[in-house]
Amino acid sequence: MDKNYGNIILSEASSEVNTIINDNNFDRFLVNSSVSDNSKKLSSYVANDIRINSNKTAVQAGSFFLKKIDDSNNSFESIVIKKQKMTISLLFSEDYVEGEITKTQLYLEGLYKENPFVFREVFQRVWLDLFRNKNTYELRNFICVASCLEYEILGDKADAIILAASVYDDKYVNEAALRAAEGWGNPQLALYLNGIRDFGISWLDNYKKSVIDYLGRMQ
């Protein structure tokens, strides 16, 4: 290659490079590249911050709702305990007389209207407490009071008390269970009574059979 021709090429190349370096477009390119990189970094920081704050908010919201649930559970429990004590107090203060409305019955009916969930929990806890502590007389009275309540407001709580009272070691509690089943008149109770043992007491076994027959006719 001719030496002079080579110098011309180098000179033109250098001139072109200088033009690019000194050109305002190149400055803008560098600035825009820098801004773009910084924008990406800023966007990344913002997104990360949003994720962190969102996570914090989610945790705080979760903690808030858990606290509310705990507070609600504690409130429900304290109400149930209070109503349970009141029911037992009334029960121990009076005798059940067939055909008469007891204070315990009125209290339980009022409690159901006030809060069905509290009522059912109180009802269950009362008879379980009497059953455990062998308060035989009061358990019998409570079952008799329960028989005066509508079966629909008791639901499976009625089924449970029938089953428990039917196997209780006291003939008068057993009789009260049969009386309650007869009073409620729900045919499915006959299935429970059919499944329990005979009492070994003729008049009680005869009563059991008559209640089962009566409930069978209710279908």
Which tokens go with 19?
Answer: 């033009």
pLDDT in tens, 50-59: 566 666 665 5
pTM: 0.68
What sign does the dihedral 144-146-149-154 (CA atoms) show? negative
pLDDT in tens, 147-182: 999 999 999 999 999 999 999 999 999 999 999 999
Kindly indicate the confidence band of residue 37, based on its pLDDT and cuts at 50, 70 and 90.
low
Write the DSSP assignment of 54-116 as a string of letters. Answer: HHHHHHHHHHHHHHHHHHHHHHHHHHHHHHHHHHHHHHHT----TTS--HHHHHHHHHHHH-H
Query: Residue 65: its pLDDT value, please?
Result: 55
Give the burial string for 184-204 (b: 16+ CB within 10 Å, else e): bebeebbebbeeeeebeeeeb
- In contact, 138 and 130? CB cutoff 8 Å: yes
Written as one letter, the residue type at 63 is S
pLDDT in tens, 90-149: 999 999 999 999 999 999 999 999 999 999 999 999 999 999 999 999 999 999 999 999
Query: 């400055």: which residue's tokens?
Result: 27
> What are the sequence ranges of the domains in the chain?
69-217
- In contact, 142 and 126? CB cutoff 8 Å: yes
Query: Residue 74: its pLDDT value, please?
Result: 83
